[in-house]
């Protein structure tokens, strides 16, 4: 949507148009979340969507048309559009706020969004924050020809990957097209009331990292387990694997980070509203929940997504795949020193450090006359906020003259002096 021309408009009968102009400026570039440098903006969306019909008539589309009518001095038409939003989403509090402002605008100039007298200031600020976030989402282009840098390789059974951009209050859904991610749709989300970078229990922050959906909790189960507190989770919840192995290594703690719905008396929550979880509208949560694979669907949480051209991750994928294959081959060869050279100096797996790990491996390998090692279902994800860290997960089928085992394994690889080495290794 083209931003309305604000020149000559009386301040501020058209407060929403002014807000929209701010959103346009904020979204002119897609910013690199780590360095703040501009990268190519995503192009307009044409990919099929999980919510194609809803996208044309959903709350953000209605909000967009309302603002467009305001910018063109057509308050009656704007009121008609916002009435549609209230009709279709009767508990959409932001729509009710804008409706009230439109009514007030007939009697007097407005100075901001949310001019109702006597309303709690904290609640108004929350709704203004949601307005800003949703306006930014209206303006941002969709990444049809771009992919998140973090999705290096999905294995064949992973149907989707979820990427959360905390800076844009957006959860992106990408589907697996022959190992390459392709944009499907995106949703407005809320995160922790104290922002990002969770470190300890109770800090009300949302973690950043690479996680997986680990379970599914129904509304009925929430009611049984949490009683009246279950209301805050809405229609259901999808727990994710925080803290992951990297979090624990870094001393991060806490638990119970979920994707979940919202209370039934509201359509959505402000951008910073949860205790650290990622909250979606109940209908959006339901749509996502249908597509999630427990134990398989990755959830990558970043403070600003690094977008790259489709196929740009091929070099990193090949480099890491070769390193993993070299590690496999050296273990299978029973050349223990060459195998151990793949591990970083500060490697650990739980409480076991490199020196103890090396002694164990040398001792075990003396009893081997042959080893056969096969890897299957390999996925590779780069860690958000880092250029030197990657998560590799695979099915490991191990056989030797005195042992046969199968396991799902996860490794964290770190680039040291230009060479990828294993920093952590353990059961996934």
Closest CA to 276 of 355, 211, 344, 215: 211
User: How close are the terminal C-alpha atoms of the chain, in Å?
Assistant: 45
Domains of the chain: 15-139 (no CATH), 146-308 (2.40.440.10), 314-427 (3.10.450.50)
Q: Is the pLDDT of residue 29 over 70?
A: no
Cβ atoms of residues 192 and 205 within 8 Å = yes
Q: How far is CA 217 from CA 197, 224, 252, in A?
A: 25, 11, 24
- The structure's pTM equals 0.86
pLDDT tens figures, 270-296? 999 999 999 999 999 999 999 999 999
Closest CA to 143 of 271, 40, 59, 223: 40
Rounded Cα–Cα distance for residues 34 and 15 (Å): 33
Q: What pLDDT sits at residue 110?
A: 64
User: Can you tell me the mean pLDDT for 239-252?
Assistant: 96
pLDDT tens figures, 358-372? 999 999 999 999 999
pLDDT tens figures, 188-208? 999 999 999 999 999 999 999
Of 20-24, 175-179, 213-217, 292-296, minimum mean pLDDT range: 20-24
Q: What pLDDT sits at residue 114?
A: 67
Q: How many alpha carbons fall within 13 Å on the CB side of residue 25?
A: 5
Strands (E), 157-235: 160-165, 170-177, 180-188, 191-192, 209-212, 217-218
Cβ atoms of residues 281 and 188 within 8 Å = yes
Cβ atoms of residues 71 and 14 within 8 Å = yes
């Amino acid at each position: 949507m083209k931003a309305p021309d604000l020149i000559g408009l009386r301040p501020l009968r058209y407060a929403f148009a002014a807000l929209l102009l701010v959103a346009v400026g904020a979204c002119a570039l897609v910013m690199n979340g780590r360095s703040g440098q501009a990268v190519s903006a995503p192009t307009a969306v044409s990919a099929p969507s999980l919510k194609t019909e809803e996208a044309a008539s959903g709350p953000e589309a209605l909000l967009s048309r309302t603002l467009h009518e305001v910018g063109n001095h057509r308050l009656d038409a704007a009121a008609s559009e916002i009435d549609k939003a209230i009709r279709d989403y009767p508990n959409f509090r932001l729509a009710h706020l804008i409706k009230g402002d439109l009514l007030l605008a007939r009697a007097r100039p407005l100075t901001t969004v949310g001019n109702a007298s006597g309303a709690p200031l904290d609640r108004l600020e929350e709704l203004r924050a949601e307005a800003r976030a949703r306006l930014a989402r209206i303006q941002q282009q969709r990444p049809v020809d771009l992919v998140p840098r973090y999705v290096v390789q999905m294995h064949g059974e992973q149907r989707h990957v979820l990427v959360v951009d905390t800076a844009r209050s957006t959860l992106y859904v990408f589907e697996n097209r022959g190992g390459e991610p392709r944009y499907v749709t995106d949703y407005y989300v809320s995160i922790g009331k104290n922002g990002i970078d969770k470190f300890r229990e109770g800090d009300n922050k949302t973690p950043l990292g690479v996680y997986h959906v680990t379970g599914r909790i129904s509304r009925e189960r929430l009611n049984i387990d949490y009683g009246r507190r279950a209301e805050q989770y809405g229609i259901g919840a999808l727990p994710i694997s925080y803290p992951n192995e990297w979090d624990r290594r870094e001393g991060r703690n806490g638990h119970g980070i979920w994707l979940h719905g919202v209370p039934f008396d509201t359509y959505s929550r402000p951008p910073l509203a949860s205790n650290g979880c990622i909250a979606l509208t109940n209908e959006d949560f339901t749509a996502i929940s249908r597509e999630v694979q427990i134990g398989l669907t990755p959830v990558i949480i970043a403070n600003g997504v690094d977008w790259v051209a489709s196929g740009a991750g091929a070099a990193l994928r090949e480099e890491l795949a070769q390193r993993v294959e070299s590690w496999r081959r050296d273990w299978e060869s029973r050349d223990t020193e060459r195998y151990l050279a793949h591990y970083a100096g500060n490697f650990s797996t739980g409480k076991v450090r490199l020196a103890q790990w090396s002694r164990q491996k040398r001792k075990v390998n003396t009893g081997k006359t042959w080893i056969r090692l096969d890897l299957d279902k390999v996925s590779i994800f780069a860690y958000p906020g880092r250029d030197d860290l990657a998560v590799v997960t695979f099915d490991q089928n191990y056989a030797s003259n005195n042992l046969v085992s199968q396991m799902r394994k996860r490794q964290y690889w770190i680039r040291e002096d230009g060479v990828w080495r294993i920093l952590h290794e353990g059961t996934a």
